[in-house]
């Protein structure tokens, strides 16, 4: 199937990045959200990020202007109905995703492919809420989308080969690399990454090291570009906790038990960089460890 128009549902951190790369790759993009402020913020962020690419000679000014013109925003999910491919990119909450998907389906053409940018939730379960499980799959981008080269493609139990090959073609047109994953909790990247972050939280919780020493140990001792607690703040502690809960519930293994300290930070609203505080306090000129 040829893809010309792409719908992106959710204009947050991931959604605006997906719209950005799709527009630069030549797709017409319909960016949908329930909040006009979120849409306005997304367009401003896309423009700022593309301008940065122009400044680095990664794209031309003409390419930026052409790409920005390809993006239209809408508060009405029905206006996504003419798209060939839809990517749901709302918060990592299954109930929210189900509600969005169920509201979307009546507006779509029969041949439209529906995907989710979920980082952990069962693709088979999400697909079962649609009228087209064979045309549904996981399309998981990494954050920040314009910079990260990987996309996880996750087939649900009913996903057909044509859908997979079509989505693979989109990934290749984006000049990214696809990793095919089976539909098990958290797939590949987060099945490995988030438990590492959770273990770093336990290392902090048990007093083995403080925030700074844990992050320095992994950056200098394992050559990680970011420490695990710094990375957790960047991802969002609410997202990390949600993925740990998916792993714990889906695999019933105590090794995936979320660290109580992570839970406590989320309960406090200390969700990381986006909230101003997490394992670091970002409200001053430089981040300061909170423990």
Binding site listing: 10-15, 33, 92, 97, 119, 143, 274
The active-site residue out of 32, 116, 122, 190 is: 190
The rounded distance, in Å, linking the Cα atoms of 17 and 45 is 9
Let me know if 223 is a catalytic residue: no
Return the bridge partners of 139, or none: 153
List the alpha helices (DSSP H) in 111-156: 123-127
Let me know if 140 is a catalytic residue: yes
List the alpha helices (DSSP H) in the chain: 13-24, 36-55, 61-70, 94-104, 123-127, 161-173, 189-205, 211-221, 228-235, 237-251, 260-268
Q: How many helices (H) and strands (E) does the chain have?
A: 11, 10
Return the bridge partners of 31, or none: 8, 73
Strands 288-289 and 280-281, sheet pairing? antiparallel
The active-site residue out of 20, 152, 198, 230 is: 152
The DSSP output letter for 255 is G
The rounded distance, in Å, linking the Cα atoms of 202 and 23 is 41
Contacts of 291 (CB under 8 A, 6+ apart): 204, 210, 211, 279
The DSSP output letter for 272 is B
227 and 216 in contact (C-beta within 8 Å)? yes
The active-site residue out of 16, 89, 116, 119 is: 119
For residue 74, the SS3 value is strand
Q: Which residues are annotated as a binding site for NAD(+)?
A: 10-15, 33, 92, 97, 119, 143, 274
The DSSP output letter for 188 is T
Let me know if 190 is a catalytic residue: yes
Let me know if 224 is a catalytic residue: no
In 10 A of CB 253, how many CB atoms? 9
Tokens of 34: 């329930």
Catalytic residues: 119, 140, 152, 190
């Amino acid at each position: 199937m040829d893809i010309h128009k792409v719908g992106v549902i959710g204009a947050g951190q991931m959604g605006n990045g997906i719209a950005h790369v799709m527009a630069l790759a030549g797709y017409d993009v319909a960016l949908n959200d329930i909040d006009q402020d979120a849409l306005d913020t997304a367009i401003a962020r896309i423009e700022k990020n593309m301008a940065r690419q122009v400044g680095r000679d990664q794209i031309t000014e003409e390419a930026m202007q052409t790409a920005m013109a390809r993006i239209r925003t809408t508060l009405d999910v029905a206006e996504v109905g003419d798209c060939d491919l839809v990517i749901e990119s709302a918060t990592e909450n299954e109930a929210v995703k189900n509600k969005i998907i169920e509201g979307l389906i009546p507006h779509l053409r029969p041949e439209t492919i529906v995907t989710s940018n979920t980082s952990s939730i069962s693709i088979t379960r999400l697909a079962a809420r649609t009228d087209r499980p064979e045309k549904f799959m996981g399309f998981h981008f990494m954050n920040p989308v314009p910079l990260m080269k990987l996309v996880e493609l996750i087939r649900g139990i009913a996903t057909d080969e044509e859908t997979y090959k079509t989505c693979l073609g989109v990934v290749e047109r984006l000049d990214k690399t696809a990793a095919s994953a089976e539909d098990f909790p958290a797939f590949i990247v987060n099945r490995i990454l988030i438990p590492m972050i959770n273990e770093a939280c336990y290392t902090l919780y048990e007093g083995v090291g403080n925030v700074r020493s844990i992050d320095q140990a992994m950056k200098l001792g394992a050559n990680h570009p970011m420490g695990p607690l710094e990375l957790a703040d960047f991802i969002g502690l609410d997202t990390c906790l949600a993925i740990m809960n998916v792993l714990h519930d889906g695999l019933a293994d105590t090794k995936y038990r979320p660290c109580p300290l992570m839970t406590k930070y989320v309960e406090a609203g200390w969700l990381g960089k986006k909230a101003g505080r997490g394992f670091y306090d970002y409200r001053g000129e430089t981040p300061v460890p909170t423990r």
